[in-house]
Structure 1
């Protein structure tokens, strides 16, 4: 395995949700913080920016707010964290479905787990930053 060693914090994932308010609350409970919220009609979210405290940002909007080929439940995201155990505890408290349990990887240096959000997107929280 070889990597460049360069971290690239400028790519932001974009996620759409049939219930963006519920997904927003779920992500906030996992440890994301809100930078911006632009509501839309009813309970819809036109645009929301959620920051991971250790770096990175997720953009969230309600399904149908803008033309996109993205559909709820089709994303897989990798979030780097120094403390996956703490995040896993918060995920358990939310009743998150664990796609794979907290594991120390043997073929690369990472401690990680993957959970599915309420829409079915996969969120891997890992010490591995590339």
Structure 2
């Protein structure tokens, strides 16, 4: 399936967090995501959130809810997500300034990418780097 720049992404990583509000804060402040939508229940539980980065998006919500997806993911995790960035070193500095746990500092890879790895507050592994998979427009 050939994609054009006008097409929305076709893959959306989806994560559940024990403290989804804290996750949204960390992902926006430390990693530079933008909150496109956040839906909460009357008690303030995050039911669904959409965070964008470039033309990509991750969706997230709160653990402990009912429903097939929430129940299937109840014991899931951690998850790994790769995000393509323009400047790995600048992105890394931002994460460090916000106290993010860094698993690997910016490193040049044999396949031409410059990547770093970080862990969010609930143990998910986030890889940020310049790699664009074949056919991904990079």
Give the TM-score taking structure 2 as reference length: 0.81
Aligned to 1:3: none
Q: Deviations over 1:66-101 (max 9, x none)?
A: 433224641000001111112111110111111111
Check whether the contact 1:38–1:45 (CA below 8 A) recurs between aligned residues: yes
Superposed, which structure 2 residues align to 1:17-56 within 5 Å? 17-29=17-29, 30-52=31-53, 54-56=54-56
Max radius of gyration: which structure? 2
Aligned Cα root-mean-square deviation (Å): 1.9
**Shift of residue 41, structure 1, vs aligned partner:** 4.2
Select which of 91, 110, 113 maps to 2:113.
Answer: 110
**Shift of residue 11, structure 1, vs aligned partner:** 0.4
Unaligned segments of structure 2, at least 5 residues:
134-138
Aligned to 2:89: 85
Work out the CA distance in 1 between the residues paired with 2:86 and 2:14.
23
Unaligned segments of structure 1, at least 5 residues:
1-5
Work out the CA distance in 2 between the residues paired with 1:72 and 1:25.
22
Work out the CA distance in 2 between the residues paired with 1:99 and 1:67.
33
Structure 1 consecutive aligned stretches of length 4 or more whose deviation exceeds 6 Å: none
Aligned length: 123
Query: Given the alignment of the two structures, is residue 57 of structure 1 paired with residue 72 of structure 2, yes or no?
Result: no
